[in-house]
Amino acid sequence: MKKNRSEYNPSPESSPGSGQESANENITTEAAEKTPAVESETAKPNLEEELQEQKDKYLRLYAEFENYKKRMLKDKEELIKYGNESLLYELLPVIDNLEMAMKHSSNDISIGDQPKVSGLVQGVEITLKEFIKVLDRFGLSQITALNKTFDPSIHHAMAQVERDDVDENTVVEEFRKGYMFKDKVLRPSLVVVSKKSAVSSQSTRRGETTEAAVASQEEKEEEITINEISEEE
């Protein structure tokens, strides 16, 4: 008799190889699920750093733009305020020439036809006054120099002269007038400044020495008097 042998055909699910493959697949799936989480945690600090860096750049750019606007506004204000500076400076020689003509006109009146010369001088004088009045409305003003204490910010010393009738460093003569444009020196005055003479300086020093000697003598006398009173007591 022939015996029927039952053939054992293991199913793929029950085979050892398929079980190992399933385990590997499960590990791979878990690793794949964990990898995005790790990457997201790593990327989060990087994103925050990048955002902070971009924020710093924006703040710096904003500050620079604000400074730029302030500079432009200041330049615009100065341009409006001092826009006529160069024009007024070029007109100063015209004023100098008219004033010089007025200064020497008194010598010319005695020569030739006096009424005609006098009328011409009067016309120049009126023109000069109106001209200065117009420039004054635009911010031009003369610097007062004569008999004033020398100020290097508005005066330019051309020479020094010995004068005992005025204080030292006093403006005693003006070669050329100076002008201010609003709060700015457009042209300093050319002046002569006084100084004490050598004799006067020596006298002053001698006077100071005498006063010091008298004061010292008075102090000594006072000391002697105090000592005498103390001895009597």
**Please, what are the averages of pLDDT over each run of 10 residues along the chain (233 residues)?**
47 49 57 53 73 88 90 85 88 91 70 64 87 92 92 92 88 93 92 82 56 64 61 58
Contact 102, 132 (CB under 8 A): no
Could you count the other beta carbons within 10 Å of the beta carbon of residue 188? 20
With CA atoms as reference, report the closest residue to 162 among 114, 197, 211, 214: 197
Contact 158, 181 (CB under 8 A): no
Q: How confident is the model at residue 102, as a pLDDT?
A: 83
- The whole-angstrom separation of Cα 70 and Cα 183 is 22
Q: Rounded to 5 degrees, what are φ and ψ at 185?
A: -75, 115
Q: How confident is the model at residue 83, as a pLDDT?
A: 85
Radius of gyration for the chain, computed over Cα atoms and rounded to the nearest angstrom: 50
Q: Rounded to 5 degrees, what are φ and ψ at 161?
A: -130, 150
Instruction: Specify which residues 187 forms β-bridges with.
Output: 179
Cα distance between the two ends of the chain: 169
Q: How confident is the model at residue 77, as a pLDDT?
A: 82
pTM for this one? 0.56
Q: How confident is the model at residue 34, as a pLDDT?
A: 52
Q: How confident is the model at residue 212, as a pLDDT?
A: 63
Instruction: Specify which residues 185 forms β-bridges with.
Output: 180
